[in-house]
Structure 1
Amino acid sequence: MNLNATLLAQIVVFAILWWFTMKFVWPPITKALDERALKVADGLAAADKAKLELASANKRVEEQLVQSRNETARLLADADKRAQAIVEEAKKRAEEEGAKIVAAAKAEVDQLAVQARETLREQVAVLAVKGAEQILKREVNVGVHADLLTRLKMEL
């Protein structure tokens, strides 16, 4: 065998193998690699997008937490204010009720004092009449001396 013929045959076989590989084997491999690279790129883009969405969601959650804390604090402050208002209103009503009770008691005391004075005046008038009767040793007519007794009551 001739070394040149062998070398030439190997070159021809290599060229055919190279052509066959470039025509039928290489395109599916490059297509698979391109698809895989595209999937990896899509996966990385989706991961980046998910990270951004996660950061955005965390930010929204923090904002909602702050808002809910503020709302809770506001509601608690409103409840405290309402409780204070209710307590103040109850105190005011109790003071008004106490004042009414004191005024009613004063009015009752005044009325009882007036009644006591009237009773005392009548008793003094009766005693005065009895005393005058005793002094004069005669009977005094109540009907005749009613005017006298009324004036005497008024003076007392």
Structure 2
Amino acid sequence: MQASIPSIVGQMIVFFIFVLFTMKYVWPPITKALEERRVRIAEGLAAAERGAASLKEASAKSDEALKAARVQAQEILAAANKQATQMIEQAKATATAEGEKIVEHANGEVARQVAHAKEELRKQVADLAVLGAARILKREVNASAHADILQDLAGRI
């Protein structure tokens, strides 16, 4: 058994040296790598959270912009409809005024034609009256000599 104690003590010394060597040269790079990995993972998680928050913010902004665009489109459509209605009303008013002018002009033209027809009728009646008087008197009546009488007669008719 005596041989085994020095062997155990030797193994303990070798193990102690191995632990010191591992603690001095192997363990620091491993802990440093683990710490760097932990930091990178933490940064990645923080970046993911910032990205998610940024995505939510961008989504909210795009929703707001979409709502604003819809409101603006509705306003533009309402303005276009209002302008179209105004244009139609203006066109109706213009057409009505133009129609009234045409009717007024036509009425004036009819009145002029009626006056002209009356004047022509008066002349024809005057000529017939002169012709009738000439036949009754069996002689020629001078229309220029009796113009005043004929004008009076035409005015009465």
- Whichever residue aligns with residue 80 of structure 2, its letter is A
Indicate whether 1:9 and 2:10 are aligned: yes
Per the TM alignment, residue 93 of structure 1 is displaced from its structure 2 partner at its CA by 2.0
Alignment of structure 1 residues 50-89 onto 2, 5 Å: 50-89=51-90
Percent of residue pairs bearing the same amino acid type:
46
Q: In angstroms, what is the RMSD of aligned CA positions?
A: 1.5
Aligned mates of 2:98, 2:8 — CA distance in 1: 126
TM-score, normalised with respect to structure 2: 0.91
Per the TM alignment, residue 67 of structure 1 is displaced from its structure 2 partner at its CA by 0.9
Greater relative contact order (Cα < 8 A, sep 6+): 1
The corresponding residue for 2:37 is: 36
TM-score, normalised with respect to structure 1: 0.91
Aligned mates of 2:18, 2:153 — CA distance in 1: 155
Per the TM alignment, residue 154 of structure 1 is displaced from its structure 2 partner at its CA by 2.5
Q: Deviations over 1:21-40 (max 9, x none)?
A: 11100111011001100110
Unaligned runs of 5+ in 1: none
Per the TM alignment, residue 132 of structure 1 is displaced from its structure 2 partner at its CA by 2.2
Q: Deviations over 1:115-138 (max 9, x none)?
A: 111011111111222222233332
- Whichever residue aligns with residue 93 of structure 1, its letter is T
- Whichever residue aligns with residue 52 of structure 1, its letter is A
- Whichever residue aligns with residue 69 of structure 1, its letter is R
Runs of 4+ in 1 over 3 A off after TM superposition: 1-4
Between the two proteins, the alignment pairs up a number of residues equal to 156
The corresponding residue for 2:133 is: 132
The corresponding residue for 1:120 is: 121
